[in-house]
Amino acid sequence: MLNTLKTPFYYFSNSNKHTNIWWVFLLVIVSFSVYMPCLDNEIVNWDDNVYITNNIIIHSLSQENIKILFSNSFEGHYHPITLFSFAIDYHFFKTEAWFYHFFNLLLHLLNTILVFFLVRKLFKSVEIAGITALLFGIHPMLVESVAWITARKDVLFAVFFLLSLNTYVIYIKKNNAKIYFLSFFLFLFSVLSKGQAISLSITLFVIDYLLGRNLLSKKVIIEKIPFIAISIIFGIITIYAQKETGYSGESNLVLPIHQRIAYACFGFCMYIYKLILPINLSAYYPYPLNATGSIPVYIYFFIISASVVLGILVYYFKRSKSITFGILFFIINIVLMLKLFPVANFIIADRYAYIPSIGLFIIIGIIVNKVLTSWIKWRKLLIVIIVIYGILLGFLSFNRVEIWQNSFTLLDDILSKYPHVVTALNSRGDARAESGDLQGALSDFSKAVEYDPMNNRGYRNRALVKYRLSDYNGSVTDYNTAIEINPYDAITFLNRGLSKEKLNDIDGALSDFNKSIEIDPEFAEAYNNRGSLKSRSGKLDAALLDYNKAIQIRPDFAKAYANRAKVKNKRGNFKEALTDVSNAIRLGFDHTELYFEKGYSLYNLRQFKNAIDAFNKAIMMKETFSKSYLYRGYAKNNIGDFSGAVSDLDIGLKSDPTNAIAYGIRGIAKIKSGKKESGCRDLHAAEKLGLLQARSEIERYCYQE
């Protein structure tokens, strides 16, 4: 009977000598098919902008930047290898989203294969390994770790984590010191990719337990010491990184210990629930709260539910090493992700389940394999149920991948489930503002500050939208509120200064720029804007000092080079101005006024043809830029293109009808192109407007007058 009723795993069983190849092929094809839509996904503003587009540290593979990557934390985390991988991506593909997604997917496929080989080594069962790896490859709760570019740290640390575990199992079997050290160094790479990997040091004890090693033997304990030491070191590094960036110890997260235990148990149970029944998944799960903002009573009942899981662990501890291993693997790798030590305003996160899920999938694999080989009477029905469940998981994952298509699909999904998530409202407001939907952005930011009146970011963002809508008074009002909430935010002072500048409150703007620099002495944008304000006030030397400082802080600050070029042109330092313009262009500052300044420098250096090329570029970018027409006309006059000069000056004078020099040069150009009468009228107009040199030209060309 057993031979006639073949399970779906029959053709991938140990009886086939090509088992591994067939399973790897199946896992890769199925998993890739589920995740294929992610290759069309965009870079979202749910931290992707922070890690990729706006992260200047990864925009160059310079020795200095690599040193920064490995010597500093970033956004509350220390994960230099992850950032280094982004730097490599950016070096070759800049912001082409498909490659970032493709690389994440490749890492996930590799992890799926590594899960298969790890479980097969541990349980010597291709069926259990195949079921576990297949669940890992297509489960909806793991989509976030793959489809979200920023979650690169999860799929990357998992590669080294799983390689280290696979290598460790080989070490146990072969007792080879080289293999042991390889496992250790792979672990080191894992924690350098994400701090969550520190749980591996304890996971090794669970592998020892499953393989029947004596956990109290001197050898077993000594060989774990290096792993535990690294875990402690990186645990401390993680704590300090979170404190430095304000990710730890926020006042609204500091809860009494009994509430933290209750929430931790709630999160623990939610991870299990969503791994079994992955519905209503979200990129953000806020803390469950009453209308008054207090903890709901029902949360405490999850302490009982978590205790039941621990009871199951105790029950199986001596009865089934396999089930015990699965439970312990899950608990050890999820416990640090629970909210006993809150570091953010969400209760659980799908990405945190990436490695822990393997433990539950192993249990499912064990149960399914046992049922299919034991319940012969119900086998066909069970096979149908299992296949339907697998198809459902794949379908849910396929759809979940498309939720990450762009910022709007993602944020709309979060807000459809949790409308009061202020972080999502702020991010959607940013996306709407960037797309030009300023009224939509204003609505989102207004809701954000309504739901959280102490939300500094909401006021700051709404102020920026009001600035773009030319509501400068409203902008200043919102910035005032943001500063009351957080008086140490350099960006808010900078932006309020810009609004005040628009209101011609020059002293107020200067005061805000000064305050911004006082808070952050290395804030290049603040120096640049203060320099522009000083330049506007005619304080050119002081402006140059600020631009110099901005460029010293950020040698790639293109706008500062462009602004400094403008001041140098005003001071008559045309060669130096041209150098700054060249640097600004090299760094990607493609702006109308930049090309005008380039043309202006070249014009004053009497390189008229090159100047005309620069003015052509400025006019191509902005046809209404009258100064470019005027100076192109001047340059054309100097190379003898008098009719071209007259045409350009005709356009320029429409926007600047009191420009005496333009009338004077147009007059000369007209006379030299045979239009003496009209040219003389222009010279007389220039004289009336105060151009003293016009008199000598009148005497020279307008004889009868």
Angle (nearest 5°) at CA 502 between 498 and 508: 60
Delimit the domains of the chain by residue range.
Answer: 37-403
- Looking at 253-257, 321-325, 429-433, which range is the least confident one? 253-257
Query: In the chain, pLDDT over 70 holds for what percent of residues?
Result: 95
Query: How many other CB atoms sit within 10 Å of the CB of residue 136?
Result: 26
Tens digits of residue pLDDT in 463-494: 999 999 999 999 999 999 999 999 999 999 99
Looking at every residue in the chain, the average pLDDT score rounds to 89
Record the tokens describing residue 56, joined without a space: 């200047």
Least confident of 7-16, 22-31, 147-156, 339-348: 7-16
The backbone torsions φ and ψ at residue 368, rounded to the nearest 5 degrees and listed phi first, read -60, -45
Answer whether residue 8 shows pLDDT above 70: no
Confidence class for position 243, pLDDT limits 50, 70, 90: low
Q: Would you tell me how many other CB atoms lie within 10 Å of the CB of residue 295?
A: 19
pLDDT for 161 equals 97
Mean pLDDT in residue range 667-681: 90
CA dist 690 and 702 (Å) reads 18
* pLDDT at residue 418, rounded to an integer: 94
pLDDT surpassing 70 at residue 576: yes
| Residue 649 one-letter amino acid | L
- Residues 6 or more apart whose Cβ sits within 8 Å of residue 571: 540, 544
Q: Looking at the predicted structure, is the pLDDT value of residue 254 above 90?
A: no
What pLDDT is attached to residue 1? 34
Q: What is the 3-state secondary structure (H, E, C) of 436-460?
A: CCHHHHHHHHHHHHHHCCCCHHHHH
Tell me the pLDDT tens digit for each residue of 590-639.
Answer: 788 888 888 889 999 999 999 999 889 988 888 777 888 999 999 999 99
286 three-state secondary structure: strand
pLDDT for the residue 3: 41
pLDDT score of 703: 64
Alpha-carbon distance of 629 to 153, in angstroms, equals 53
Average pLDDT, stretch 153-166? Answer: 96
How far out from the chain centre does Cα 14 lie? 45
Output the pLDDT for position 165. Answer: 97
Residue 179 confidence (pLDDT) above 50: yes
- Tell which residue, 243, 253, 428, has the closest CA to residue 346: 253
> What share of the chain has pLDDT > 90, as a percent?
64
**pLDDT of the residue at 524:** 94
**From CA 428, how far away is CA 410, in angstroms rounded?**
9
Top pLDDT among 311 and 509 is at: 509
Burial class from Cβ neighbours inside 10 Å (0-12, 13-18, 19+) for residue 658 reads exposed
60-63 contacts, C-beta under 8 A, 24 or more apart:
60/87, 60/91, 60/556, 61/87, 61/88, 61/91
Q: How far is CA 705 from CA 582, 667, 676, 690, 698, in A?
A: 48, 15, 12, 19, 8
Transcribe 372-415 into DSSP letters: HHH-GGGHHHHHHHHHHHHHHHHHHHHHHHHHTSSHHHHHHHHH
**Helix (DSSP H) and strand (DSSP E) numbers for the chain:** 35, 2
Residue 190: name the closest of 154, 167, 161 by CA: 161
Highest mean predicted confidence (pLDDT) among 261-270, 367-376, 409-418: 409-418
pLDDT tens readout for residues 497-515 = 999 999 999 999 999 999 9
**Which is more confident, 442 or 387?**
442
Is it the case that residue 310 has pLDDT exceeding 90? Answer: no
Going along 272-360, which residue ranges are E strands?
Answer: 285-286, 346-348
Q: Which of 31-40, 122-131, 678-687, 694-703 has the lowest mean pLDDT?
A: 694-703
Q: Is the pLDDT of residue 5 over 50?
A: no
| Paired strand residues for 285 | 348
Band of residue 343 on the pLDDT scale cut at 50, 70, 90:
low
Percentage helix, strand, coil, to 5, in the chain? 75, 0, 25
- Beta-bridged to residue 77, according to DSSP, are 74
Higher pLDDT, 16 or 169: 169
Is residue 628 classed as helix, strand or coil in its secondary structure? helix
pLDDT for 7 equals 43
Q: Which amino acid is at 464?
A: L
Q: Rounded to whole angstroms, what are the CA distances from 299 to 277, 399, 628? A: 20, 30, 68
Residue 10: pLDDT band by 50, 70, 90 thresholds? very low
CA distances from 67 to 60, 62, 88, 237, 524 (A): 12, 9, 15, 17, 21
80 has a pLDDT exceeding 90: yes
The model's pLDDT over 83-104, given as tens digits with 9 standing for 90+, comes to: 999 999 999 998 899 999 999 9
Q: Any residues with CB less than 8 A from the CB of 131 and at least 6 apart, and which?
A: 9, 361, 364, 365, 368, 369
Are 673 and 643 within 8 A, CB to CB?
A: yes
> Can you tell me whether residue 344 is helix, strand or coil?
coil
Provide DSSP, 236-254: HHHHHHHHHTT-S--GGG-
Mean pLDDT, residues 552-562: 91
pLDDT at position 246 over 80: no
Q: Residue 348 in 3-state DSSP? A: strand
Dihedral, CA of residue 405, residue 33, residue 329 and residue 327, to nearest 10? 100
Is pTM beyond 0.85 here? no
Q: Is the pLDDT of residue 208 over 80?
A: yes
Unique residue bearing structure tokens 């009719």: 643
Q: How confident is the model at residue 9 (pLDDT cuts 50, 70, 90)?
A: very low
CB of 432 closer than 8 Å to CB of 454: no
CA neighbours closer than 13 Å in the CB half-sphere of residue 584: 25
* pLDDT tens figures, 408-458: 999 999 999 999 999 999 999 999 999 999 999 999 999 999 999 998 899
In this structure, how many other beta carbons lie within 10 angstroms of the beta carbon of residue 59?
A: 18
pLDDT at 18 over 70: no
Q: Given pLDDT bands bounded at 50, 70 and 90, which one contains residue 660?
A: very high
The CA distance from 549 to 555, in Å, is 10
Residue 15: band (very low, low, confident or very high) from pLDDT cuts 50, 70, 90: very low
Look at residue 150 in the predicted model and tell me its pLDDT.
94
pLDDT interval class at 17 (50, 70, 90):
low
Pairing of strands 285-286, 346-348: antiparallel
Instruction: Dump the DSSP string for 84-111.
Output: HHHHHHHHHHTT-HHHHHHHHHHHHHHH
